[in-house]
Amino acid sequence: MSSDNKKWFSLNLNRKKKESSGTCGCGKTSGGCGSYSEHPQMTDEEFAEAAINASIGEERTKDGFDQVFDVKMDRRSAFKKLTASLLIGAGAVSTSCSVISGDESKEKAQIDWEEQFKGNYKLMDDDEKKGTVERLMRSYELRTGKNISMSSKNAEDDVLFGYAFNISKCQGYMDCVNACVEENNQDRNSQMQYIRIHEMKDGKGFNFNEADDNYYHEVPAEGHFYMGTQCFHCDNPPCVEVCPVQATWREDDGLVVVDYDWCVGCRYCMAACPYDGRRFNWSKPEVPETEINKNQHYLGNRMRKKGVVEKCTFCVQRSRAGKNPACVEACPTGARIFGNLLDPNSTIRWVLENKKVFRLKEDLGTEPKFWYFMD
Amino acid sequence: MMNRKNYIYILCCTCLFVLFSCRHGEGEYHGVTDRIEAESKNYHGTSISSEKYLEGIKTIEITEGEHTFLIPERKNQITSYACTECHSKPLTQMQGKDAKNAHWDIKLVHANKNTMNCITCHNPDNMDNLTSLTGNNIDFNNSYNLCNQCHTKQFKDWKGGAHGKRLAGWAPPRASMTCVNCHNPHKPHFESKWPERFNTETVKERE
């Protein structure tokens, strides 16, 4: 079956398979198997293929437009499908307009409807932002019976967030990674992590090819140093430039954010990012109800869905409220410094002006707002 | 004549094209450093404050050089302060077999024996204060003044904000932890330990 280059699959019922080495399907090499032609015996492989074919059919071999348009369909099934989709649509309308169904399901349908047709967050005015945030909070309440608080706080004037990382202080404890995962409701199943701590050999420079970012031994290890990477919130972000739907952009306070409801999951941004700063949700993110951080921001740690890109937001829900990002707060060695780059008296400015700082891949012109320094 | 007109036309077009193509939409600034410098010239402060996160933490304000900031109060954190509550008699009388053992859990792992012993920092005649190398009193709340006698580089970085950790948030007022909030003065180094997390999914992905 797999040897011929047919792009489709056909069950060879009542058809003799070409015999390649004198054996037939039942494994006998001589004498023939009488029952073969009436009851074709499938090997496991064939069975699996047939099963896949039955469930997803031609979608496997066709892609793009072909999947939708190049479908053999007679009038009858076309009408059938049209009627089905009409019924679904009518169902949605009738739930929201019906006098019989409960208020809650009506409200749910109404929220879903409005969420489905809302615009890009970047283009919303403050009332619209408040509206969508309220809908999302209400929707969560209707679905789970629990309350979350979600903010739509905008960037403040005279604020530009910046970050400094002290390479000589980091001991590789990974408290920051833990704090980040808990704060930002990252998928526990795929163990998504925004922060990577790279264990590098002394004397080899910043050699990311030989560095280990998933070590498990007592740290700090002899002859190694540690360096963390995450989204650097570039001032000239290439990920923003490539997004075909403008679902990611740089806010006025310098944070590069994603509208998870606008993202189409093309992952161009992941390809464009030279720092591996973005993560993709290959499956629906799962966080145990008890572990969900209910202090959320629309652009930050609210629950994501399958098929969208996410990334570090410098904990927008915390930083816009005056707090330090979770990683900064969790770091036991004080290797992480965060603050307002526009405030001449801020500690981050003192670091930039008094320590010898550098950034990763400065020659690319991405202008990251994440500096490294040493004691 | 026609040729010349065409030539000028093409030249103009080229000039315009070059003019516009020089701007790649990179914004007004050449880099983020220029942007910071330009935009912080008329910095007016923000409405964001970390004051509410400092509620319930007793702090004292200190001024060191050009830096003024808050540090947590120390005396109320020391369980057995004031020391004179026990140290009512001179030390020599308190040593010996009939006295209760105290501070048995403190072992000095800080510099070597030639450089330091107990009385480098503690004054046996005035237990409620620390003592400088020259014998001046240093308040327990300002214990950073004791540390900075040797650790001058760290002190400079700490004052500026490059060493140590912030209390509360990034927003003003600045409140920073002081030396003893992270370092045990009797054993100031950081212990080695196992990482907090190991990503088993990454291992699977890379197999």
CB atoms inside a 10 Å sphere around CB A296: 23
B162: closest chain A residue by CA: A351
Instruction: Name the minimum distance, in Å, from the CA of A189 to any CA of chain B.
Output: 8
Residues A126 and A244 in one domain: no
B15 pLDDT band, cuts 50/70/90, is low
**Given this model, what pLDDT does residue A75 score?**
82
**Given this model, what pLDDT does residue A100 score?**
66
CB proximity A156 to B under 8 Å: yes
> Residues A260, A299: contact at Cβ < 8 Å?
no
Q: Is the pLDDT of residue A235 over 80?
A: yes
Residues A341 and A311 in one domain: yes
Residues A287 and A266 in one domain: yes
**Given this model, what pLDDT does residue A45 score?**
74
**Given this model, what pLDDT does residue A15 score?**
58
Taking CB atoms and an 8 Å limit, are A346 and B195 in contact across chains?
A: no
A74 pLDDT band, cuts 50/70/90, is confident
Mean pLDDT, to the nearest integer, of A83-89?
A: 81
The token pair that represents B165 in the structure block: 């950790």
Q: Which amino acid is at B179?
A: C
Residues A134 and A29 in one domain: no
The token pair that represents B94 in the structure block: 């308190």
The CA dihedral of B39, B40, B41, B42, to the nearest 10 degrees, is 90
Q: Is the pLDDT of residue B90 over 70?
A: yes
The string of pLDDT tens digits covering residues A307-343 is 999 999 999 999 999 999 999 999 999 999 999 999 9
**Given this model, what pLDDT does residue B29 score?**
86
Taking CB atoms and an 8 Å limit, are A156 and B40 in contact across chains?
A: no
Residues A336 and A310 in one domain: yes
B84 pLDDT band, cuts 50/70/90, is confident
Q: Is the pLDDT of residue A18 over 60?
A: no
Q: Which of A27-31, A355-359, B58-62, B111-115 has the lowest mean pLDDT?
A: A27-31
> Residues A258, A243: contact at Cβ < 8 Å?
no
- How far, in Å, are A155, A159, A338, B51 from residue B171 at the CA level? 14, 10, 10, 8
**Given this model, what pLDDT does residue A35 score?**
43
A positions 311-340 inside 8 Å of B (CB): 318-324, 328, 331-334, 337-340
Residues A330 and A182 in one domain: yes
A228 pLDDT band, cuts 50/70/90, is very high
A340: which chain B residues are within 8 Å (Cβ-Cβ)?
A: 46, 170-171
> Residues B123, B130: contact at Cβ < 8 Å?
yes
**Given this model, what pLDDT does residue B54 score?**
94
> Residues B165, B87: contact at Cβ < 8 Å?
no
**Given this model, what pLDDT does residue A97 score?**
65
Q: Is the pLDDT of residue A53 over 80?
A: no
Measured CA to CA, the distance from residue A246 to residue A124 in angstroms comes to 13
> Residues A73, A67: contact at Cβ < 8 Å?
no
The string of pLDDT tens digits covering residues B132-146 is 999 999 999 999 999
Q: Is the pLDDT of residue B109 over 70?
A: yes
* Top-confidence residue, A39 or A99: A99
**% of chain B at pLDDT higher than 90:** 64
Of the partner residues A156, A235, A369, the one whose CB lies closest to the CB of residue B48: A156
Q: Is the pLDDT of residue A31 over 50?
A: no
The whole domain housing A118 covers: 75-151
Strands B126-131 and B137-138: antiparallel
The token pair that represents A277 in the structure block: 């700063």
Is A156 inside a domain boundary?
no
A36 pLDDT band, cuts 50/70/90, is very low
The token pair that represents A181 in the structure block: 């995962």
**Given this model, what pLDDT does residue A25 score?**
45
Instruction: Name the minimum distance, in Å, from the CA of A210 to any CA of chain B.
Output: 14
**Given this model, what pLDDT does residue B103 score?**
85
CB atoms inside a 10 Å sphere around CB B172: 19
Q: What is the mean pLDDT of chain B?
A: 89
A222: closest chain B residue by CA: B192
Q: For chain B, what is the domain count?
A: 1
Is B30 inside a domain boundary?
no
The whole domain housing B128 covers: 51-90+105-190
Residues A63 and A180 in one domain: no
Q: Which amino acid is at B66?
A: E
Instruction: Name the minimum distance, in Å, from the CA of A56 to any CA of chain B.
Output: 26
Residues A145 and A212 in one domain: no
Mean pLDDT, to the nearest integer, of B94-111?
A: 83
Residues A277 and A343 in one domain: yes
- How many pairs of residues across A and B have Cβ atoms under 8 Å apart? 155
> Residues A152, A133: contact at Cβ < 8 Å?
yes
**Given this model, what pLDDT does residue A363 score?**
95
Is B73 inside a domain boundary?
yes
Q: What is the mean pLDDT of chain A?
A: 87
B52: which chain A residues are within 8 Å (Cβ-Cβ)?
A: 322
**% of chain A at pLDDT higher than 70:** 81
Instruction: Name the minimum distance, in Å, from the CA of B59 to any CA of chain A.
Output: 18
Taking CB atoms and an 8 Å limit, are A158 and B31 in contact across chains?
A: no
Taking CB atoms and an 8 Å limit, are A158 and B44 in contact across chains?
A: yes
Which of these three, A70, A95, A122, is where a domain ends? A70
Taking CB atoms and an 8 Å limit, are B157 and A159 in contact across chains?
A: no
Handedness of CA B66, B69, B75, B79 (dihedral sign): negative
Of A86, A366, A371, which Cα lies nearest the Cα of A239?
A366
CB atoms inside a 10 Å sphere around CB B151: 17
Taking CB atoms and an 8 Å limit, are A178 and B197 in contact across chains?
A: yes
Q: For chain A, what is the domain count?
A: 3
The string of pLDDT tens digits covering residues A120-166 is 999 999 999 999 999 999 999 999 999 999 999 999 999 999 999 99
Taking CB atoms and an 8 Å limit, are B36 and A341 in contact across chains?
A: yes
Residues A17 and A91 in one domain: no
**Given this model, what pLDDT does residue A347 score?**
96
Which DSSP category does B187 fall into? B
Is B97 inside a domain boundary?
no
Residue A291 CB burial class (10 angstroms; 0-12, 13-18, ≥19): exposed
B193: which chain A residues are within 8 Å (Cβ-Cβ)?
A: 173, 218-219
Taking CB atoms and an 8 Å limit, are B192 and A328 in contact across chains?
A: no
Handedness of CA B163, B166, B167, B173 (dihedral sign): positive
Instruction: Name the minimum distance, in Å, from the CA of B145 to any CA of chain A.
Output: 20
The string of pLDDT tens digits covering residues B168-189 is 999 999 999 999 999 999 999 9
Residues A224 and A349 in one domain: yes
CB proximity A222 to B under 8 Å: no
> Residues A245, A229: contact at Cβ < 8 Å?
no
Is A248 inside a domain boundary?
yes
Residues A166 and A141 in one domain: no
Instruction: Identify the H or E element spanning A250.
Output: strand A248-250
Residue A267 region, left (φ>0) first, then alpha (ψ -120 to 50), else beta? Answer: left
CB proximity A276 to B under 8 Å: no
Could you give the 3-state DSSP secondary structure of residue A143?
helix
